Amino acid sequence: MSEKTLILDKQDIDRTLNRIAHEIWERNRGAEDFVIIGIRRHGVTIAQRLSQKLQEFAGVTIPVGALDINLYRDDLSEIASQPILKKTEIPFSVQDTHIILCDDVLYTGRTVRAALDSLIDMGRPRAIRLAVLLDRGNRELPIQPNYVGKNVNVARDELIEVLLAEDDGIDQVVITKGARNGNAR
């Protein structure tokens, strides 16, 4: 049996994403060709929410894209013999853009490395900045986020499970000690 501890509820997640959206706007106001791209799965939802928040308080429409990084993973052969591919949907060119790359949890840095490789294969962005809901540390690669919702210190045997209403029917983040599931890192 696994033990769960709630670290963010619906209001906490909303407040955190509001703060990140304001930070993004303060640092990128006036930036031409500014786009937001989320790493599938929850990174896309976070990207959409950030774009919506920017629309609400700044009155700007920021294009959003969805990135599948499965073929760029360095552990592809360890995950499955036939990886499940999801669609990359980036309806704009990344060439000369300012990209905010979004993910839910930053841990080892390997997912972000795969995302960077994928984006570079699509063109040469002017800049790529990283926004994450949670940074749990313990990096294996020298990757640091530019925008962080919350830094969380968890042991390696603890997992962070992010649930977002659009994908999972509820907004919450819990730390789980014990069994691993598909949403936990």
pLDDT given at position 184? 53
Distances (CA, A) of 158 to 49, 75, 174: 27, 21, 10
Residue 28 φ/ψ, nearest 5 degrees: -120, 5
Per-residue pLDDT at 142:
95
Q: What is the pTM of this model?
A: 0.89
Distance, CA of 185 to CA of 180 (rounded, Å)? 8
Q: What is the pLDDT of residue 178?
A: 66
- pLDDT number for residue 183: 46
Angle at 41 between CA 39 and CA 43, to 5 degrees: 45
Task: Look up the CATH architecture of domain 10-73+87-155.
Answer: 3-Layer(aba) Sandwich (3.40)
pLDDT of residue 150: 97
Give the model's pLDDT for residue 2.
72
Q: Are strands 34-39 and 64-67 parallel, antiparallel or unpaired?
A: parallel
* 156 preceded by a cis bond (ω within 30 of 0): no
Which pLDDT does position 182 carry in this prediction?
47
pLDDT of 41: 87
Segments of the chain with pLDDT less than 70: 1, 30-31, 72-86, 178-185
State the Cα–Cα distance between residues 177 and 33, nearest whole angstrom.
42
Q: Which residues of 107-119 are buried (b: 16+ CB within 10 A; e: fewer)?
A: bbbbbbbbbbebb
Domain ranges of the chain: 10-73+87-155
